[in-house]
Structure 1
Amino acid sequence: MDAYDRKILAELQRDGRISVTDLAARVGLSLSPCHRRLRALEQSGVIRGYRAELDPAALGLGFSTIVFVTLKEGDKRAVEAFEKAVVALHQVVQAQRLFGDPDYLLQVLVKDLSAFQRLYDAELSSLPGVQRLTSTLVMKQVVAERPLFPGGTQ
């Protein structure tokens, strides 16, 4: 990966809907080399896809919670059962397995406190293999989806 590739990535992170013509102009390449580099970045898996960035609050999902999960057992069967159940919960917008204690960090987006309480009581507390759940409220988003190559020079 060279400076042109990093510039392409930086521009795409700013505007994923940019045309290849405009992208080429912004990074200082002619159309064909820019297109070849873009396809190579996609085919190699560096670019995983393109999507719209949505505002949760505008969609009525203004309550954000982090839930830390500790499992009773850490064997393969318990981990697989837990992860399969978490994937099925659409309110869990991010789930990360951690080293140490706790075992998982879940980011949950719901309408309000009542919706979170219902989710907690009906779904989260009955996830397979859970020993302990600890929740904390998100006060505000300080850094969200920071670009990996913000200026195209790293």
Structure 2
Amino acid sequence: MDAVDHQILAELQLDGRLTITELADRLRLSISRCQRRLRELERTGVIVGYHAAVDAAAVGLGFEVLAFVSLRQDQPDTLAAFDKAVAAIPHVIEAQRLFGDPDYLLRVVTADLPAYQRLYEEKLVRLPGVRRINSTIVMKQVVPTRPLPSRP
């Protein structure tokens, strides 16, 4: 990847709805050259998709919890079963496996505390291998999800 590829990524992370023409103009590239570079970034998996950023509170999901999950055992079967089961819960919008204890960090959104309590009791504690869940309510999002830095 060269500087032009990094510029393409920076522009698209700021506005994923740019047309090829707009992107080419911003980068001072021909439309065909810009399109070839963009398609190559998509083909190689550098760009993995396009999406709209949605305000969770505006759609009734303004209650956010970070849940730290420790498993009873870390056997491959348990990890795979947990991964599959947690991926099937729509209110879990991020799940990361961690080194050490806890084993996972889940980012969960619900309408309110009672809705989180129901989700916790009906789904989260019943996930395969769960030993303990420590939940922390998010008070304020200080740094919203933002574009990746332009250079590593």
Q: Which TM class, normalised by the smaller chain length?
A: over 0.9
SS at match of 1:73: coil
SS at match of 1:67: strand
RMSD (Å), alpha carbons? 1.2
Number of residue-to-residue matches in the alignment: 152
How high is the TM-score relative to the length of structure 2?
A: 0.96
Q: CA deviation at 1:153?
A: 6.1
- Structure 1 ranges of 4+ moved more than 3 A: none
Q: d(CA) in 2 for partners of 1:43 and 1:142? A: 34
Q: CA deviation at 1:148?
A: 1.4
| Aligned equivalent of 1:146 | 146
| Aligned equivalent of 1:48 | 48
Q: Which moved more, 1:140-149 or 1:96-105?
A: 140-149
| Aligned equivalent of 2:113 | 113
Shift of the 34–68 alpha-carbon distance from structure 1 to 2, 3 Å rule, reads: same
Q: CA deviation at 1:125?
A: 1.2
How high is the TM-score relative to the length of structure 1?
A: 0.95
Give structure 2 stretches of 5+ with no counterpart.
none
Checking the alignment, whether the CA contact within 8 Å between 1:3 and 1:153 is kept in structure 2 is no
Q: Which amino acid is the alignment partner of residue 118 of structure 1?
A: R
| Aligned equivalent of 1:66 | 66
Give structure 1 stretches of 5+ with no counterpart.
none
Shift of the 93–127 alpha-carbon distance from structure 1 to 2, 3 Å rule, reads: same
Q: d(CA) in 1 for partners of 2:3 and 2:83? A: 38
SS at match of 1:58: helix
Shift of the 153–68 alpha-carbon distance from structure 1 to 2, 3 Å rule, reads: closer
1:1-154 to structure 2, matched below 5 A, reads 1-149=1-149, 152=150
% identity of equivalent residues: 57
Q: Which moved more, 1:29-38 or 1:55-64?
A: 29-38
Checking the alignment, whether the CA contact within 8 Å between 1:7 and 1:153 is kept in structure 2 is no
Q: Which amino acid is the alignment partner of residue 33 of structure 2?
A: P
